[in-house]
Structure 1
Amino acid sequence: MRLGYFGGNVGGMASPQAVDVARFAESLGYASIWAGEHVVLPKPRREKPPLDPDWPMADPMIQLAYLAAGTQHIRLSTGVVVATQHQPVRLAKQAATLDVLSGGRFMMGLGLGYLDLEFEVLGLPATQKRARFRECVGAMRALWTEDSPVFDGEFVSFSGVDAHPKPSTPGGPPLIMGGYADAGLDDAAKYGSGWYGFGLTPDDTREVVDRITTRLEAEDRDPRMFEIFMTPRARLDGALIKEYEQAGVTELVVSAEALDIDGIKRRLELNSPEAHGVEPAGVGTRYAWEV
């Protein structure tokens, strides 16, 4: 079991002080920092997402590039980028660049998106999201791995091109898939190195892990090489961490929201690996897909 940190508010990520927080989390032995994505938020506030319209949700790729320059070994992950809101060739370039600049520390969390307002203001259709998501993954992989990249899809096509730098990570950044629907778990098992969930109990997590495991085995993939990331809603203690571990979670991604930097640091200390008897991450910490 490892512990990561989900940062999303003004004190944690969308602030010039974000590097200070990231370095502090790294010093405490957190394995990763995660950044979410919403290009806009509804005003007035709606039930979903449960965020105020003035919530400082910065661009996750820019955030993580900023943090990469100020940290040494902590992993950097999107949790998640809405793939269907990005042009795949451009997104592949951003991801490859971040992978290189971070020394291979970037994990790319991907999702479909559910807030139709975002698609509307971006001038994008909120339909055929699954098909566009799959083409995005395929196009990025072609650009990352092929000597002469070619992709011929309904929504994106290219040939006679190349794109450098190639990612420093063989095969490209690990793809961490979000979503609970059957089609989403199918994609996780087929394309992903891991799966990221938010707010599930250990019992609900176990049910999702079982569904993913069945799909991995159908794809002739070893479930031990696939990682499960979860942000819990409940306050952590040793017993709850053990429950999540028994449910198949590889890393718990702690949400440490507070009104200021000092408050976030206190919450990071209270939930640190040492505070919960979890082995701290450090230089050389390896993920299942790297073994």
Structure 2
Amino acid sequence: METKSNNNEVLCEREQSISTFGRFTDHPGYRRMFAPNKLTIGIFLPIKFYTGHMEDLKDQADIVEMIDQRNFATVWVRDVPLFDPSFGDAGQVFDPFVYLAYLSARTKHVSLATGSSIFTLRHPLDLAKSASSIDVLSGGRLVLGIASGDRAIEFPAYGIDANQRDVRFRETVEFFRNLIRDQRPSIQSSLGQVKAGEMLPKPTIGDIPLIVTGSSRQSLDWIAEHSDGWLTYPEATADLSGPQRLSEKINAWREKIPGGIFKPHMTNEWIDLVEDADYPRTPLRGGYILRTGRKGLIQLLKEWQAIGVNHAALGIQFSSRPPAEVIQELAEEVLPFFPSHAGPNPLYTRW
């Protein structure tokens, strides 16, 4: 009788999980990051900015291993095909898919996310092949943040009309999903035609979460219907005014989600976490960076959680302290308030 009761409890939990998480119930990366009314923490790469020398990125993967071991939810990598010196930010330099493949071999549990893959600049077949490969190699840990791009020099380099990137973005999403979901896809698109053949490997659970970044030049209705989550900028973070505005944005989006199903919201902030735990939340560079002690950061994260943010991606590139020291403090003093979720373990990875 006890065994039957336990089995019934497992079945009930499974049914509740399916109703909440939909097609991503068994996706290890998605489930580690997201749950209703809860917030988890991830770390944005690079740990240090590229300043003209590859030595700037030395030992970054060792820090990523530390992030994994300390039980953070996610590491995020950026997608910057061409460095524009006038833009002033080269991202983490490495191709996001190549680098995530490398990091997947260096880690065991942490989710691997792009923030964000520029879907307008690459063919959906190449995107699907790379993303599915990483998802399988990592045991289902890939969460794909996607965007339409905002660096002007990249579009002519790819021979793409920047003014049409809203249309290309939508077409790429549709093409991508047909490739990874269907055994024998039949696709007619301005981006190409698929009449026979199958894209391999298929993702671990047959799908990959697509998280739309910003507006990506799409309507709120489109994002609510076609995304698997939404990543937006945080508004001001030094006081309650920003979280209040962010709350309005999140509520307006969630009201448009068909069927009222759960879809996660994410935001991010670049922080300079100082040693003084009581140091007040202080905006730097016009609010682009937040300098704070850990108590101020915890309060901000609690404010975000209260308004429906489900994941916070923190960048520490501007930190005045050594990266390992910041990660250690976050792990010991902040992460216990916002633990990563227990979910499916990464699937078979002994490739």
Do they fold alike, i.e. is TM over 0.5?
Answer: yes
Q: Kindly provide the amino acid, as one letter, of the partner of residue 263 in structure 1.
A: P
Cα displacement (A) at 1:199 = 3.8
How many residues align? The count is 274
Of residues 204-213 and 262-271 in structure 1, the stretch that sits farther from structure 2 once superposed is 262-271
In the alignment, structure 1 residue 198 sits paired with structure 2 residue 233: yes
Match of 2:108 among 62, 72, 89: 72
Instruction: Please list every run of at least 4 consecutive aligned residues from structure 1 whose deviation after the TM superposition is greater than 6 angstroms.
Output: 11-14
User: For the structure 1 residues 226 and 96, does the alpha-carbon distance in structure 2 shift closer, same or farther, using more than 3 Å as the test?
Assistant: same
Query: Distance in 2 between the 1:194 and 1:176 partners?
Result: 5
User: For the structure 1 residues 258 and 193, does the alpha-carbon distance in structure 2 shift closer, same or farther, using more than 3 Å as the test?
Assistant: same
- Secondary structure of the residue aligned to 1:254 is strand
Which residues of 2 match residues 1-291 of structure 1 at below 5 A? 1-10=39-48, 15=57, 17-43=59-85, 45-46=86-87, 51-52=88-89, 56-170=92-206, 172-180=207-215, 183-200=218-235, 201-216=242-257, 219-222=258-261, 225-232=262-269, 233-234=289-290, 235=292, 236-257=296-317, 263-272=322-331, 274-275=333-334, 277-281=336-340, 284=343
Please give the per-residue CA displacement for 1:128-185, whole angstroms capped at 9, x wherever unaligned.
Answer: 2111111111111111111211111223322112111111123x11111111378253
Query: Distance in 2 between the 1:56 and 1:209 partners?
Result: 29
Q: Kindly provide the amino acid, as one letter, of the partner of residue 148 in structure 2.
A: L
Question: Do the aligned partners of 2:41 and 2:72 also contact (CA within 8 Å) in 1?
Answer: yes
Question: Do the aligned partners of 2:166 and 2:217 also contact (CA within 8 Å) in 1?
Answer: no
Please give the per-residue CA displacement for 1:80-123, whole angstroms capped at 9, x wherever unaligned.
Answer: 01100011111111111011011000000000012221111222
Please give the per-residue CA displacement for 1:208-245, whole angstroms capped at 9, x wherever unaligned.
Answer: 211211220xx2241xx211111124345222111101
Of residues 72-81 and 20-29 in structure 1, the stretch that sits farther from structure 2 once superposed is 20-29
Question: Do the aligned partners of 1:37 and 1:59 also contact (CA within 8 Å) in 2?
Answer: yes
Unaligned runs of 5+ in 1: 287-291
Of residues 99-108 and 17-26 in structure 1, the stretch that sits farther from structure 2 once superposed is 17-26
Unaligned runs of 5+ in 2: 1-38, 236-241, 270-288, 346-351
User: For the structure 1 residues 273 and 214, does the alpha-carbon distance in structure 2 shift closer, same or farther, using more than 3 Å as the test?
Assistant: farther
Question: Do the aligned partners of 1:238 and 1:276 also contact (CA within 8 Å) in 2?
Answer: no
Of residues 195-204 and 124-133 in structure 1, the stretch that sits farther from structure 2 once superposed is 195-204
User: For the structure 1 residues 181 and 144, does the alpha-carbon distance in structure 2 shift closer, same or farther, using more than 3 Å as the test?
Assistant: closer
TM-score for both structures, normalised by structure 1: 0.85
Question: Do the aligned partners of 2:211 and 2:227 also contact (CA within 8 Å) in 1?
Answer: yes
Of residues 176-185 and 242-251 in structure 1, the stretch that sits farther from structure 2 once superposed is 176-185
User: For the structure 1 residues 266 and 184, does the alpha-carbon distance in structure 2 shift closer, same or farther, using more than 3 Å as the test?
Assistant: farther
Of residues 157-166 and 94-103 in structure 1, the stretch that sits farther from structure 2 once superposed is 157-166
| Two-structure CA RMSD over aligned residues (Å) | 2.6
Q: Kindly provide the amino acid, as one letter, of the partner of residue 6 in structure 1.
A: F
Match of 1:289 in 2: none
Question: Do the aligned partners of 1:143 and 1:149 also contact (CA within 8 Å) in 2?
Answer: yes
TM-score for both structures, normalised by structure 2: 0.71
Q: Kindly provide the amino acid, as one letter, of the partner of residue 254 in structure 2.
A: T
Percent identity for Structure 1 against Structure 2: 25
Query: Distance in 1 between the 2:178 and 2:118 partners?
Result: 19
Question: Do the aligned partners of 1:2 and 1:273 also contact (CA within 8 Å) in 2?
Answer: no
Cα displacement (A) at 1:61 = 1.1
Question: Do the aligned partners of 2:42 and 2:312 also contact (CA within 8 Å) in 1?
Answer: yes
Larger Rg: 2
